[in-house]
Amino acid sequence: MAGYQAGDFAAATALINRVGPQLHRFFVAQSASRADADDLLQETWLRIHKVRHTYRPGEPALPWFYAIARHVRVDHYRKLVRTSAREQKLDDLPDIPASHVDEPGHAARLDELLAPLPESQREVIEMLKVAEMSLEEVARATSSTIGSVKQKVHRAYEKLRRTIAEAEAKKSRSGALL
């Protein structure tokens, strides 16, 4: 282990060949599948590599390896629990009626309302409100940050509010003249 800490490639290879099978058996005995055990072993070696500087030369290395492996296994199962707690089966989801966006003429009115907006703002509004994407998804789709998406949406809303207010003011003035 001291050689591995010093950057000796042969020592690292020897450690992997000697300790790897033991750690793999540890994961196979604890996990549901061999693929999970393989992933956990790889994660363990990555973590060992990152924290190799914390090993104290002269101390037994095997307990140090197993402590890291146990932490990797615990982290893995905690992540599984968090993920499965947020997942929902499709059968459990309620049926959502078709959106009113499909009504005749609605798309034309929406396009007319969004027409004064710059393309980038229009695109973000359509993704968020029509396609019902999350801020993170819109940011990824537009190759921008969440903050940038929020700023575009805010500016688009302001422009839409002004446009709607102006249209209502014109309508009330023309109604007052009749």
* pTM across the whole model: 0.48
In CATH, what number does 102-177 get?
Answer: 1.10.10.10
Distances from the Cα of 170 to the Cαs of 30, 106, 112, 166, in angstroms? 72, 22, 17, 6
Closest CA to 53 of 69, 42, 40, 68: 68
With respect to CATH, is domain 2-88 assigned 1.10.132.20? no
What type of residue is 99? S
C-alpha to C-alpha distance for 148 and 143, rounded to whole angstroms: 10
Span(s) in the chain for CATH 1.10.1740.10: 2-88
At 32-70, the pLDDT tens digits run 688 889 999 999 999 999 999 998 888 888 888 999 999
C-alpha to C-alpha distance for 14 and 73, rounded to whole angstroms: 23
**Inter-residue contact 4 to 12 (CB < 8 Å):** yes
Span(s) in the chain for CATH 1.10.10.10: 102-177
At 78-123, the pLDDT tens digits run 888 888 777 666 665 566 555 554 555 666 777 788 888 888 888 8
Q: Is 69 exposed, middle or buried (0-12, 13-18, 19+ CB in 10 A)?
A: buried
